[in-house]
Structure 1
Amino acid sequence: IDSPEMLGTKYRGGPLLELRSSALELIAMYMERYDDDMQPFAQQLMRTVWDIISAPGSANPASDDLVVSALGFFEASCRGPHRELLTQVMQPLCVDVVLPSLELTEDDVEAFEDDAAAYIQRDIEGSDVHTRRHSACKLVRELLAVFGDACSAVLNECIGNLVARGTWQGRDAAIVLVTAMGLKASSSAAMADSHAMAAAGSELTNYVDLASFYDQQISPELSAPGDSEIGTAVLKADALRFVATFRFHLPAASLAALLPHISQFLQHDNVVVQSYAAHTIQRILALPVAGAPSQLQLGDAEIGEYVPLLLERLCGRLGQDRRLNEYTVKCLSQVLRAAPAASQPYNGDITTVLATVLVELTKNPSNPLFSHYFFECVGYTLRLAGDSADQCMAIEALLWDPLLAILRDDVVELLPYALQVLALLLDLHPAGSASRSPAAPTSAYPNTSARTPEHFMGLYEPLCSDALFEAKGNVPAAIRLICAFLRKDPDQLNAAGHMPRTLGLAAKLL
């Protein structure tokens, strides 16, 4: 039965490995749900699973699913009356089963170098639920929950041994193990979702000395410049992920001081390191004030001196990237939100970069997250312009042609965003000679008293077309732009003969 056809190749498992993996998943489920009935078989099952996970071929990529299922079996064993059997094998379980599963596989290293999106998705976006590393971390947390200090003593010794190896693989595994021991919640969920991290923020364990590990292993990595060598790059990414994961437990002043060091990695050759740097900066700047989630801990007063450097490196990265990296543009959006006063002097330079990127984005709007945060950045630049007529006109001049191209070419992925930006531009358009009457009521929208510029008026007829409103996603943005026209000068629309069509459209939508 152990023929090559049944076992598969080194890289792809055959039917027999798939069968064994499925059987282990079922056994793990039975161990949890029918623990009393499974008690007589528990010891023999543990021996069998141990033999499977210790077999020479278990290190091959083809055995990934089998090893994940085996780790799940041991995790399930921790939760039932069979846990006492694990006390006899605590140290070998940690050393021979957990540690090898924490190390990066060949596929992981290859993805880190050549497929950044896949690596990032597994590592910080929470899609690593069926990997050796994720399963080993879950087993670590379960062992600590059951055996506490007895297990932590073994694991802390493992951390020391991993670091003492002097290899990047050992230090990488040590950082992952410390993260698993330090957080009660899943580190991947905490990285992927700020609300999950907030919930996890008060659930640190006391099984590992996080402060000492940070000082000895993480801080030096962030302070030293990086190179393109794979081991160095992996450790930089690990250090950045560590800061993002434990950001709630580092002083705000210390986090602010880290920003120049972290921002240097925006210029790194490796896309994963670039992305993690942007992600970590964004997470730091998004930290809310305790008890006031709408307020940020770090604003102009705290990070103003670092904003020019952050903007220079983020805009430089955006301008150089040939791929649409949502982490970079999301980070830029967060900088503009957190420190508007410090960002305002650079608004023109930021908009110039955004206009260049928009031209390319209209040709290939393949990343919806990038598009969303990109137009957030555009909105912030318009907010920074405020009542400055010169800045508003300069931004309009830069964005006008790309926005028209979106409308003309019917770039459906970007159309709602383009309509909203046009509405903002119209609201902010200088009032010119037709100033507001002193008796006129104050509007929440600035500069809405002048006649609508002719180049905007040319948009109104296609704006009211039935085709535009067939896509439900366009409706709120299109109405927003129509309202901007009506606020600006309804008499002008009426004189141009547009009011009957506008009223008919309103009746249809109602």
Structure 2
Amino acid sequence: MQSSRERERQEGRGNEEQGEEGGSSLNCSQRTGTLIRNFRFKPLIHTLLTVCLSQYNPWEEASVLSGGLAADMEVTEENLSRLVEVLTHTLSQDPSQRRAAEQFLGQVEGNENYPVLLLTLLTRDEAQVPKNIKLAASIHLKNLIKRNWVVDEDGTNRISTNDRVVVKREIVDLMLRSSEGVQRQLSQAISIIGKSDFPHQWSDLIPYMAEKFKSGDFNIISGVLQTSYSVMERYEYENKSDDLWREIKFVLDNFAQPLTNLLVELMKAAGENLNNAAALRMIFSSLVSVGQLFFALNSQDLPEFFEDNMAVWMEHFLTLLNFTSPLLVSSDDEMGVLEQVKSQVCKNITLYAGKYREEFEPFIENFVTAAWNLLSNTPLDIKYDQMVSLAIQFLCAVAERDHSKGLFENEQVLSGICEKVILPNMHLRSCDEELFVDSPDGWVAQELEGANTETRRRAAVDFVRVLSRHFEARMTQVFGQYVQSMLATYAEKPTECWRNKVAAIYLVTTLSAKGQTARHGTTKVNELVNITEFYQGHILPELQNQDVNHLPILKAEAIKYVISFRSVLPFEAVKVCVPDMIRILTSESAVVHTYAADAINKIFLLRVNGQLAVQRSDVSPLAGTLYGNLLGVLAKEGSAQNEYIMKTIATVTNLIEGDLMQHAGLVVPQLVLKLQHVVKNTVKPHFVHYLFETLSLVIKTVCGSVDGAVGEFDRNLFPIFQEILQNELESLIPYIFQIISLLLERQKGEVPEAYLSLLPFLVMPVLWERPGYVAPMVRLLQAYVEKAHGQIVQMGKLEAVLGVFNKLNASKTNDHEGFYLIQCMLLHMPKEVLENYWNQIFTIMFRRLTSSKTTKYVRSLLVFFSLFACQHSAARLIQIIDTLQANMFGMVVDRLVVPDLQKVAGDTDKKICAVGLSNALAEPMVYSGAYRDRWGTILESVVRLLECPEDSSLPAGEHFIEVEDIPSFQGSSNRLKHAMRGESDPLKGQIDNPQVYLAQRLAQVSQANPGTIQGRLAAVSQEVQAHVVQYLQVAGVSLA
């Protein structure tokens, strides 16, 4: 008998062989109706990648690790022991052992009983299963559920029905009795299942958890609250819909009253445990979750239950906002549980003040008083920042309404707000200065990107802007005095009082900016503030200081002023500071040289009257110094992957275009070097993106200027690409596919062997399981089809490529990518290569149309049919369609062309459809044959396409996602702008004007059938007739 080890090794090798062929080796006799039917995916991309590129076979190690586990998933002590052993290896320090274990677990996760085996392992005590192994098992179970719980588009169910039942039956109780780490993972798993199954397929989840509130056990209650919130959190941000509101109503009916009762009980327990620190912390921890659930359940709309019980909730919220206890004061810089509760209360009352103002009005004044007292008595320590920010946001929400401005218009109140709330929260604290030095990335994210909206300075800015809408002149006058005072103290003692100028700049920026966008910065300013005068008198001197390391925080604030007002300051004034910004790039401060790079980038992208204000001739003389300083930053410790620097390098490279060749000797080796470093240590995704974007630009520019340059890039880059593939660096693989596409398209003559050896790897079915790989791999396959279609056929990979199309065609998410691929094949492959496949390809398309029709698919299909009619002929198109079913072309006209042609968007696609259907109008079968009764219908559809606005309506219930709106690479932001295939017009140079082409085809028809077309035209609408007459006049042709 074979050992399980030998059996698995043979099965693994068999899978590898099938994967390499794309699962699609068909003989000609098998083609019809069976194209790539066996295109099946295997679960282990890692194995196939490694086998393809090296001799290392991790299947052998996986077999050693697993014993007989893969063959038998029953819950036995033997299998549990083996699972513990494999999980232990996933924590190994040995990468090969760890990878083999991870690959094996990926291989078996689709086996029945495997989720149950993991759940059973988690029930064992720590004497049997160590704590770290139970945590690893819980993480693996969560990830298994995340990957496989939702049934695939093609109906593939990777978790058996029985396993689903067991998991849902056991996971809640298991979560509640688990340790904190495991509880967190299982809570997330419940949330994932809940999003798919709740409430229709798991209706008892919320009622079951609500019952646990009666247990009186704070540990159980805490677990239930956290898990409930993980299920309901999405109510805060999901789009309104009837289904969503029905789900929320179901939750409210089963959960709102128990949650309210729990709030009352927790408040009562807090009063009874004022001297019990441990109990009080547990109670307040639960109150945080209660507040979060209140916010989630009230986010979409004000439920009737909470409107009826508003007094109960608001009474306790007010108590919590005023509550103090020395037992809950945290000793470190981390926010304590009391601050968390107060922060959540502020968030909740801000929601009510903003969305449900009328119902909340009776409670506002008391909460304003409580928030004011909170702000007046809270120290400047960093742990209170979020609470202070949210309290200020509540006051903003109240002040925004015109009828509430009376609460703030008193002169004394305004002065108090300025002195006690706004100014203290705008001044730098020691912790801010520490952040600037110790965590430059954190500072940049907070101050430049605005990533953290819950900061004191941000909240103070928002409050100033809200109050300025009501009292602009008074606010400008009051704060203007403070600004002058702070600038005066700085002028007297700049070394000691530089913080005052920082605050003054921040305050002027706040008062001046009335409207802004991420792309343009400030777009509307306070006319009472002269921003240009302030820039020239107080900003430029800081930038022109020759000591680039002088007072770095002040210098950064000055640069930020330029960034903020770049669009509204006179361009010449902004342009003056560019040489200073280039020099400031040499600053040792990471924040300063980051700000300088961002300023340069944004100034270079400024537009005046729709045109770039900075031209190539402006930048080229500075490019040598600019590249030197930018690349110099990347050599500094802590800035090796500075995304702002690399983004600016990309912008400069794009701007100077062909002048790059003067600096290629400096830039190209550095980019290759940075790529080598990234392979060893990828830290910042945005840096990586801009690195590859720059590399794309450089390849296009250099290869367009220097013969043989593509070969040099091949020699330098392919070893790096191979390392990325061998090490399975998933975040980088989509990028290298795009770069390889660029290089392949620039090959002259025969395609090098290095590219051809990659093709079998590219059509492996397993690779197409990764959503992030799909678009870049289609991009690369298009390059192969264009440059190496002959080799694709010679290597026997044509059907594998068609198998890729088949897979993409079946996916609602990726069907447009399938059309990109098949249209590329239509355009670039010799007609005879695909001739025997078209019937089958059309069958696949119609099958998908019948089973899962979407607007996006119909549009793509219409463009494809029309392009086919252009490349082959309309007669061949009709012949293929009618071969599938008698008179089927008539159904295509009635059910697709007439109702949906006008939904086709984009000039090129409209042109293709117009030309293809014009060809159909000229076909004898359509004009005088079996489809003559559709001739006028087709003509009207073509004219409407050319003359009427696009029809963007959707069938009831369909959520149409535009191709452009689909997240780049399905959730990953790694689509390279400069590596994209240019939108090519396949008819360019042949047909420029589709209206003229239509007229010419009509004239040809009339010449072949004299005196008949006039009667046909008389049957269409007057509007269409008028357009046709106009087309004929423009084309200079007449009807016979």
TM-score (norm 2): 0.43
- Show the counterpart of 1:185: 515
* Distance of aligned partners of 1:454 and 1:74 in 2 relative to their CA distance in 1, 3 Å threshold: closer
Residue among 53, 66, 76 paired with 2:375 = 53
- Show the counterpart of 1:441: none
Conserved in 2, the CA contact under 8 Å of 1:243 and 1:280? yes
* Counterpart amino acid of residue 304 in structure 1: S
Distance 2:778 2:338 in 1: 59
Distance 2:406 2:591 in 1: 42
1:18 CA displacement: 4.6
Residue among 276, 285, 306 paired with 2:622 = 306
* Distance of aligned partners of 1:20 and 1:479 in 2 relative to their CA distance in 1, 3 Å threshold: closer
Conserved in 2, the CA contact under 8 Å of 1:347 and 1:384? no
* Counterpart amino acid of residue 794 in structure 2: A
* Counterpart amino acid of residue 145 in structure 1: R
* Distance of aligned partners of 1:109 and 1:273 in 2 relative to their CA distance in 1, 3 Å threshold: same
- Show the counterpart of 1:358: 675
Identity %: 26
Matched ranges for 1:258-273 at <5 A: 258-273=577-592
- Show the counterpart of 1:463: 762
Q: Is 1:244–2:563 an aligned residue pair?
A: yes
Q: Is 1:334–2:665 an aligned residue pair?
A: no
Conserved in 2, the CA contact under 8 Å of 1:6 and 1:16? yes
Distance 1:336 1:325 in 2: 17
Conserved in 2, the CA contact under 8 Å of 1:182 and 1:205? yes
Residue among 88, 92, 98 paired with 2:411 = 88
* Counterpart amino acid of residue 395 in structure 1: F
Matched ranges for 1:51-450 at <5 A: 51-55=373-377, 57-78=378-399, 79-86=401-408, 87-89=410-412, 90-166=414-490, 167-185=497-515, 190=517, 193-194=518-519, 197=521, 200-201=522-523, 203-226=524-547, 228=549, 232-290=551-609, 292=610, 295-320=611-636, 323-385=640-702, 386-429=704-747, 431=748, 450=749
Distance 1:30 1:492 in 2: 66
Where does the alignment leave 5 or more consecutive residues of structure 2 unmatched? 1-273, 275-323, 491-496, 810-1040
1:100 CA displacement: 0.8
- Residue by residue, what CA displacement relative to the aligned partner does 1:249-284 show, whole Å, maximum 9, x if unpaired? 233344333222112222221211121111111111
* Distance of aligned partners of 1:305 and 1:152 in 2 relative to their CA distance in 1, 3 Å threshold: same
Secondary structure, counterpart of 1:184 in structure 2: strand
Matched ranges for 1:488-507 at <5 A: 488-507=787-806
* Distance of aligned partners of 1:505 and 1:302 in 2 relative to their CA distance in 1, 3 Å threshold: same
Conserved in 1, the CA contact under 8 Å of 2:353 and 2:364? no
- Show the counterpart of 1:437: none
Secondary structure, counterpart of 1:151 in structure 2: helix
* Distance of aligned partners of 1:50 and 1:398 in 2 relative to their CA distance in 1, 3 Å threshold: same
- Show the counterpart of 1:476: 775
Secondary structure, counterpart of 1:339 in structure 2: helix
Conserved in 1, the CA contact under 8 Å of 2:531 and 2:569? no
1:463 CA displacement: 2.1
Distance 1:58 1:333 in 2: 45
Distance 2:771 2:370 in 1: 57
Distance 1:108 1:280 in 2: 22
Moved more, 253-262 or 416-425: 253-262
- Residue by residue, what CA displacement relative to the aligned partner does 1:411-458 show, whole Å, maximum 9, x if unpaired? 1111111111111112212x3xxxxxxxxxxxxxxxxxx111223222
Secondary structure, counterpart of 1:165 in structure 2: helix
- Residue by residue, what CA displacement relative to the aligned partner does 1:17-68 show, whole Å, maximum 9, x if unpaired? 45555555566666665579858984x776665444333x522333324432
Moved more, 214-223 or 390-399: 390-399
How many residues of Structure 1 are paired with residues of Structure 2 in the alignment?
Answer: 475
* Distance of aligned partners of 1:204 and 1:499 in 2 relative to their CA distance in 1, 3 Å threshold: same
Distance 1:31 1:473 in 2: 42
* Distance of aligned partners of 1:250 and 1:139 in 2 relative to their CA distance in 1, 3 Å threshold: same
- Residue by residue, what CA displacement relative to the aligned partner does 1:440-494 show, whole Å, maximum 9, x if unpaired? xxxxxxxxxx111223222222222223222122222223223323322433443
* Counterpart amino acid of residue 234 in structure 1: I
Secondary structure, counterpart of 1:413 in structure 2: coil
TM-score (norm 1): 0.84
Distance 2:364 2:785 in 1: 77
1:310 CA displacement: 1.2
- Show the counterpart of 2:328: 6
Conserved in 2, the CA contact under 8 Å of 1:98 and 1:140? yes
Secondary structure, counterpart of 1:8 in structure 2: coil
Conserved in 2, the CA contact under 8 Å of 1:31 and 1:80? no
Conserved in 1, the CA contact under 8 Å of 2:700 and 2:742? no
* Distance of aligned partners of 1:319 and 1:332 in 2 relative to their CA distance in 1, 3 Å threshold: same
1:319 CA displacement: 4.2
* Distance of aligned partners of 1:503 and 1:38 in 2 relative to their CA distance in 1, 3 Å threshold: closer
Q: Which has the larger radius of gyration?
A: 2
1:3 CA displacement: 4.3
1:122 CA displacement: 1.1
Moved more, 30-39 or 113-122: 30-39
- Show the counterpart of 1:439: none
Distance 1:24 1:469 in 2: 47
Distance 1:451 1:471 in 2: 31
Distance 1:287 1:383 in 2: 24
Moved more, 19-28 or 366-375: 19-28
Distance 1:493 1:45 in 2: 72
Secondary structure, counterpart of 2:510 in structure 1: helix
Secondary structure, counterpart of 1:185 in structure 2: strand
